[in-house]
Structures are given as structure tokens and as C-alpha cells.
Amino acid sequence: MTGDTHVVQSNGYSRGPLIDTVRPYSDQLRFSLSRMNGTSFWAYSLWRAAEGSDLLEDIPLSDAYIQSAGSAEAMTVEARVLHDDGTAHHFTVGKPGAGSEEAPSEVIRWDDGRHSTTVYPNEVFTADEAAEVFYAYFLTDEVPEWCTLRELDLRGTM
């Protein structure tokens, strides 16, 4: 399995190629995201494998990806973007209509509540909403233009 292939990862450790043998890619993404329950399945990531990758031999990681955490009812979506100069930037993705809140107020929890992040109300996605963003990313390797991006400062958190 080589060529123009995407990789998915669940809960930060189980990863494999995104396939469309059971359902089309858009439906597969929606199905996977809708299974997130915040407990046994709480994180999902997607990235394009490097050209020429043999996914039967090795499942490579990538410096650019889209990811979610939480549950099908309330999840955060984040994207890591590589700029032309090689620098990486990490963003929380939002829906149009950012509110006037001074600080993020919505808490998204995952991994049985062991982890959480606080986001703005327009940055809380359902599985169906997140699936639209993931599918656009699948097609273009970019977050759709209709989304808002809020850069995160992750220095010292990894």
C-alpha cells in the first residue's frame, strides 16, 4: 500500500491507513469521529503519509496533521501546520462567528477526564461538524477557509 495515502491514529497510539473499502472516505471519517466517547475512544488524528511510504511496512508520523479530542457530542479540533520556512504552528480550529468572550470558557474532557482543554464556544465541534473539517483536510491538506484558527503556544508543554 503505497502512494497518496492518509494515516489515521486513535488515542495517540493505534494508527493505520485510512481506507475506503467499507464506506467512502467522508463517511469513514464521520463514522470514526461519531464513535468517540471520551472514555475508551477519545482522540483521532489524520495526516498524509509521505510520498512513497509503504504502509504495509511502516506507518510514518508527520509534522502536519489535524486532530480531535473529546466525545462525539463535544470535541476540540486542532491542526498543526508547517509553513514554507519549515516552522510549525499549532492551532485550535473554530467555526465562524467567534464570540466576544474574553477567555475560553468551554471545557472539553477526554481519557476518562484525565485530560482537558478549555476553548471558546465556537471551538466546540460535534462529530458531524468535525467530519466536515476532517474531510476538507483530507482533500486539501488544509483547514477549510470558513474555519477560524487560534494559534496555541505549546512551548514547554511537550
Check: CB of residue 128 under 8 Å from CB of residue 74: no
Nearest CA-CA partner of 72 in 105, 106, 43 = 43
pLDDT(19) > 90: no
Domain contains 157: no
Nearest-angstrom CA–CA distance, 135 and 29: 7
Q: How far is CA 32 from the centre of its chain?
A: 12
**Is 41:71 a contact under the CB 8 Å cutoff?**
no
Q: What is the number of domains present in the chain?
A: 1
Quickly state the pLDDT bin for 1 (edges 50, 70, 90): very low
Return the pLDDT at 99. Answer: 63
What is residue 154's predicted lDDT score, i.e. its pLDDT? 66
Region 17-27 average pLDDT: 87
Residue 28 counted as domain residue: yes
pLDDT per position as a tens digit, 25-59: 999 999 999 999 999 999 999 988 777 665 556 66
Between 98 and 38, name the one with better pLDDT.
38
Question: Nearest CA to 150 among 97, 92, 106?
Answer: 92
Whether 3 shows a pLDDT value over 60: the answer reads no
**pLDDT, mean of residues 114-119:** 94
pLDDT tens digit sequence for 65-84: 999 999 999 999 999 998 88
For the chain, list the strands marked E by DSSP: 6-10, 14-17, 43-48, 65-70, 75-82, 88-94, 106-110, 115-119, 148-152
What pLDDT, on the 0 to 100 scale, is given for residue 98? 67
- Provide the pLDDT for residue 94: 96
Whether residue 81 is contained in a domain is answered as: yes
Domain that holds residue 111: 6-152
Residue 62 has pLDDT above 80, yes or no: no
Whole-model pTM over 0.85: yes
Contact 138, 6 (CB under 8 A): yes
1 falls within a domain: no
* Cα 116 to Cα 43: distance, rounded to the nearest angstrom: 12
